[in-house]
Amino acid sequence: MEKTLVILKPCTVRRGLVGEITHRFERKGLQLCGMKMMHLDDTILSEHYAHLAELPFFQRIKNAMMAAPVIVTCWKGKDAVHVVRELGGKTNGRVAAPGTIRGDYSMSMQENIIHSSDTVENAVIELARFFKDEEIFEYETIGLDVFYANDEI
């Protein structure tokens, strides 16, 4: 089973949506394997968003991500990276489909509720950036058989 990173952004924390968003992932059938609150600093954000460093809005993104604490989470499930991306919806909340997290809770391109890993390879890198090995937990979920067929587990 894949693991993926989801960051509940400062706007999510400030709006009191942490429980609502984690609830949606749990109801889908993803397993929460790690969760912690932290303040992000310029160093970790410069690394995390290095692919955007040449864009004019780079500093604005970093400032927004430092505006309040974030909740970093690790989710596990079959095709977890893809499933989380689909649940999240398009980056721009104004065009994200209703029923997706951004479609239901965002009106912004930047203040768009979550960051999620975009590939399995990036999920491994991003999880290592935000979690120590001992902060990601393995445990048996009750009722896994109601979320997956027996040949999917």
What is the tens place of the pLDDT at every residue in 46-76?
A: 999 999 999 999 999 999 999 999 999 999 9
For this structure, is 115 an active site residue? yes
Mean pLDDT for the chain? 96
Q: Amino acid identity, residue 94?
A: R
pLDDT at 143 over 80: no
- How is residue 91 annotated by DSSP? S
52-58-61 Cα angle (round to 5): 110
Domain boundaries, the chain: 2-146
Beta-bridge partner residues of 24: none
**% of the chain with per-residue pLDDT over 70:** 100
pLDDT of 92-109, one tens digit each? Answer: 999 999 999 999 999 999
Single pTM value for the model: 0.95
Residue-wise pLDDT tens digits, 7-27: 999 999 999 999 999 999 999
Q: Which of 39, 48, 82, 115 is catalytic?
A: 115
Among 62, 70, 56, CA closest to 21: 70
E-state strands within 12-116 = 31-38, 70-77, 114-116
Which burial class, exposed, middle or buried, applies to 36 when counting CB atoms under 10 A from its CB (0-12, 13-18, 19+)? middle
Q: In what order do the strands lie in the sheet with 70-77?
A: 31-38, 70-77, 2-8, 114-116
Identify the pLDDT of residue 153: 79
Task: State the Rg of the chain over Cα.
Answer: 15
CATH of domain 2-146: 3.30.70.141
Strands 2-8 and 114-116: antiparallel
